[in-house]
Each structure stands twice: as structure tokens, then as C-alpha cells.
Amino acid sequence: MLKLALISLVIAGVLAILGFGGAAGTFVGIAKILFFIALAVFVLFLVLGMLAGKGIKDAID
């Protein structure tokens, strides 16, 4: 997901250099959305991993 956000930012940079401001703005928006989705998924998996680790620790003890 972060890889797609980075690719979108590179494309936006190239488009901005070439003078396509509207398309560059669109790709920046896409990159922002992908970044925040990736951040939300990371936090979700972090919380789930902590809860799963706690459950395993309690089962072992």
C-alpha cells in the first residue's frame, strides 16, 4: 500500500514538472488516501498483534 502511495507521488512529481497541474493534484490526493489507509491498517494489525500475544502468553502461563 505504501509502495502504491510512493508511486503515485512520483507520478505526481513528473506530471507537475511537465505542467499538468490538475492531474498532479489528483495523484497527490490518491497518494494521501493510500497513505492514511496504510496507516490505519498498520494500527489495526498492531493492536491485534498485541492482543494475540497477550492471549498466547496467558495460555502458556
pTM value is 0.76
**The dihedral formed by the CA atoms of 53, 59, 60 and 61, expressed in degrees to the nearest 10:** 110
Identify whether the C-beta of residue 41 lies closer than 8 Å to the C-beta of residue 26: no
- Report the pLDDT value the prediction gives residue 61, as an integer from 0 to 100: 60
Instruction: Domain of residue 24: give its range.
Output: 2-60
- Report the pLDDT value the prediction gives residue 52, as an integer from 0 to 100: 86
Q: Based on the structure, what is the number of domains in the chain?
A: 1
DSSP letters along 1-61, please? -HHHHHHHHHHHHHHHHHT-HHHHHHHHHHHHHHHHHHHHHHHHHHHHHHHHHHHHHHHH-
pLDDT digits (tens, 9 = 90+) for 8-61: 999 999 999 999 999 999 999 999 999 999 999 999 999 999 888 777 766 676
CA 13 to chain CA centroid, Å, is: 18
- Report the pLDDT value the prediction gives residue 34, as an integer from 0 to 100: 94
- Report the pLDDT value the prediction gives residue 10, as an integer from 0 to 100: 95
- Report the pLDDT value the prediction gives residue 38, as an integer from 0 to 100: 95
